[in-house]
Structure 1
Amino acid sequence: MNAVDSSLDAAPIADWRSYPISADLVNLVPASDALDTHWSDGRVSPFHYQWLRDNCACGQCVYSVTREQLFEIVDVPEQLHPQRTRIDEQGHLLIDWQDGHHSRFHPGWLRAHAYDEVSRAERRAQRPQSQLWGAEMSEQLPQFDYQAVMADDDALLQWLLAVRDIGLTQLRGVPTTEDVLPALAKRISFIRESNFGVLFDVQSKADADSNAYTSFNLPLHTDLPTRELQPGLQFLHCLVNDATGGESVFVDGFAIAEALHQEAPELFHTLCETPIEFRNRSRNSDYHRLAPIIALDAYGVVSEIRMGNFLRGAFDAPVERMPALYSAYRRFIAMTREPRFRVQRRLDAGQLWCFDNRRTLHARTEFDPASGARHFKGCYVDRDELLSRIHVLQR
């Protein structure tokens, strides 16, 4: 239900999503600083009065066009209390405040935002979970049809969910013209530009400004670890691949981090806690970033891998921690070389890789440029754009 129909000047809920009613409000028990709401399934959710007033969605508190908040909590007394609370015939929570303001809360929205321990645990369990993978992905690679993704939003959503949860996908049946990649990327959102351009050509160049633009072996890495925010998604579209060698190699950085956590937790924590300098210097640019190889999110879950040995500066750590840092770093790279984690496949003309660059490390075996042409077209789209597109498609 997107809108609240109220005689109390209520406006649409300050959100564009729908909130199904999974349980009904059955009783309200006021306390000194909070309202205990009792649900039909037996759950009790306390809501502090400041929280309730802060989340009022009436037309005075939220602008109905943008659904963005106008009200600021500092504009009401800190010790505010309801004058009256009740449940209306539609099951909404109604509150009359001491200053004459009125609030109405949809039960589906209220339950979705309840912050009692059970409700918060329920939301955490519903968060998307990364599906870790290893060498078996060679046989289980998620593959999607280009024409379907371009024409059908349901097919687009299934592809994007695989990118989000697995971090490695392949599209097939992709036309081998240079105008295809930007159109595909824009099915998600706008393309992220870098010093390599909006689009970049991955092919051997005599005046290469990156090891990617050579023909020799390129070790496992994430692109642009030298930036404050590494690109989220990377696209590599094969226009032609007649050269000998040059196979794509992938490992799931999250799976390696999890295995390291289980097998050598002290080394895992070293890579989470020790910042490493990454740098990328060319004739016209000079990028530096100090960050750990393994980053955790607000829940303590691995959210990002940052790796590029050929873009790494000298380690700078306290004397007593330097041996531990090298032990952890060596172990991580050694694990990326273990067959249990590696996927190695050739990308042929008309095929395209799309993977999570902040999770999936990629590499390329050496190829012989004299044996035939090899030309990939690439671009980046940030992870935020992926998640936003998924949310809109799911709505």
Structure 2
Amino acid sequence: MNLAQGPLESPDIADYRRYPVSAGLNALRPRADHLEVEWSDTRISPFHYLWLRDNCPCAQCVYTVTREQVLEIVDVPADLQPRQARIEADGALRVDWPDGHVSRYHPGWLRAHAYDDLSREERLRERPRSRLWATGLNEHLPVFDYAAVMKDDRTLLDWLRALRDTGLTQVQGMPTEPGTLQHIARRIAFIRESNFGVLFNVQSRADADSNAYTAFNLPLHTDLPTRELQPGLQFLHCLVNDAVGGDSLFVDGFAIAEALRREAPEDFRTLCELPVEFRNKDRHSDYRCLAPIIALDAHGAVTEIRIANFLRGPFNAPARQMPALYRAYRHFIALTREPRFRVERRLEAGQMWCFDNRRTLHARHAFDPSSGARHFQGCYVDRDELLSRIRVLERER
């Protein structure tokens, strides 16, 4: 294999992001099934030939309009080896394949996708981390101004990052006209419709199809645990709140899960492994979902809490595991009552809660509907839309 260098134009990147060059290509060493790259900071990264061919960013392999891949790796030989590889004058990696195809890789892109152990660990450390609540969140709740969020993308990005990392935010200074909520929700993305509508009105009414539409105490829960995918974000906008009572209560479900992982690992494992059925039924619908209360991502981090005692069906676990399930479930609920995990506030007219519904449990104290009007509007936006909007805003900046 020829490792000669020669001047060629910079390669295209089949992406919308920018890739700064934190380290340049220093040397290439061909191996039986991969190319070993030595970087200018002495890191060594192997790139398998199939991986390189699979990720060629040229216009033959990636459609330039959509930037989606056209090549299917099954259409190249399994024992593929390049004819030559070299570092170009502009620092890019050029690979010539036996069929005459040429691939060029930007060094910033290549480093950002390197899969040696050090590079993978580095990316894992750089992933956004959830900030678990401490007792001080009552004093340091992330609060944002409605007009600034609506007009300024920098403020919008700050709000969305706080929402992603903390799971609970408040927006103040909102107009109190019905329908205002949809404008700020659509600063993120489209609204997710449910059987309660696009925007739902949280008011006490006689024909309630959910306890949310009563004056009762509403225990801690996540919304729609009866769905295969719970809504990611929930918005609650206060139009008027003159009734006595009805304060909002929030609990960090991720913090509780991590406390269980540390303090009672058997209970944590039980709630990760044993599924529980949640049911939501009225005269015209019947939703059900069987899933664990705690869900983990591919890295073992807590990614979702699914709980609502008033929507929970009878436990259906093997007899030998039923005592463990009750012990773990009771332990989780008991922790939600500890002050270290809780935030309690009254929402006033012109204020809005926005929180991660797959993390943050919310509740409402009972209120007296005869003491004054109380009208909230709510809606949902999926968590994927939040993360996408953050990435695009970060890319543009």
TM-score w.r.t. structure 2 length? 0.97
Distance 1:217 1:50 in 2: 59
Q: How many Å apart are 1:134 and its aligned residue?
A: 3.6
1:171–1:351 CA contact under 8 A, matched in 2: yes
| CA displacement, residues 104-144 of structure 1 (integer Å, 9 cap, x when unaligned) | 00000000000000000000000000000043211110000
Establish whether residue 178 from structure 1 lines up as the match of residue 216 from structure 2: no
Q: Where do residues 61-210 of structure 1 align in structure 2 (5 Å cutoff)?
A: 61-210=61-210
1:29–1:37 CA contact under 8 A, matched in 2: yes
2:34–2:48 CA contact under 8 A, matched in 1: yes
Distance 1:48 1:199 in 2: 50
Distance 1:77 1:98 in 2: 10
Q: How many Å apart are 1:230 and its aligned residue?
A: 0.2
2:233–2:354 CA contact under 8 A, matched in 1: yes
The residue aligned with 1:18 is 18
| CA displacement, residues 191-239 of structure 1 (integer Å, 9 cap, x when unaligned) | 0000000000011010100011110110000000000000000000000
Structure 1 residue matching 2:119: 3-state secondary structure: helix
Distance 1:15 1:165 in 2: 26
2:11–2:92 CA contact under 8 A, matched in 1: no
Q: Which amino acid aligns with 2:36?
A: D
Q: How many Å apart are 1:11 and its aligned residue?
A: 6.7
Establish whether residue 285 from structure 1 lines up as the match of residue 288 from structure 2: no
Alignment length (residue pairs): 390
Q: Which amino acid aligns with 1:202?
A: V
1:27–1:37 CA contact under 8 A, matched in 2: yes
Q: Where do residues 308-327 of structure 1 align in structure 2 (5 Å cutoff)?
A: 308-327=308-327
Distance 2:337 2:61 in 1: 56
The residue aligned with 2:388 is 388
The share of aligned pairs that are identical, in percent, is 70
Distance 1:144 1:387 in 2: 19
Q: Which amino acid aligns with 1:208?
A: A
The residue aligned with 1:42 is 42
Q: Which amino acid aligns with 2:342?
A: R
Moved over 6 A (4+): 6-11
Establish whether residue 301 from structure 1 lines up as the match of residue 297 from structure 2: no
TM-score w.r.t. structure 1 length? 0.97
CA, structure 1 residues 369+7, in 2 after alignment: closer, same or farther (shift >3 Å)? farther
Q: Where do residues 301-380 of structure 1 align in structure 2 (5 Å cutoff)?
A: 301-380=301-380
Distance 1:59 1:187 in 2: 33
Q: How many Å apart are 1:10 and its aligned residue?
A: 8.4
Q: How many Å apart are 1:180 and its aligned residue?
A: 1.0
Q: For structure 1, which runs of at least 5 residues remain unmatched after alignment?
A: 1-5
Q: Which amino acid aligns with 2:85?
A: T
Distance 2:96 2:343 in 1: 61
2:295–2:305 CA contact under 8 A, matched in 1: yes
Structure 1 residue matching 2:335: 3-state secondary structure: helix
Q: How many Å apart are 1:265 and its aligned residue?
A: 0.5
Distance 1:134 1:178 in 2: 34
| CA displacement, residues 367-386 of structure 1 (integer Å, 9 cap, x when unaligned) | 00011000000000000000
1:10–1:58 CA contact under 8 A, matched in 2: no
The residue aligned with 2:3 is none
Q: How many Å apart are 1:14 and its aligned residue?
A: 1.6
CA, structure 1 residues 102+112, in 2 after alignment: closer, same or farther (shift >3 Å)? same
1:87–1:93 CA contact under 8 A, matched in 2: yes
Distance 1:110 1:9 in 2: 17
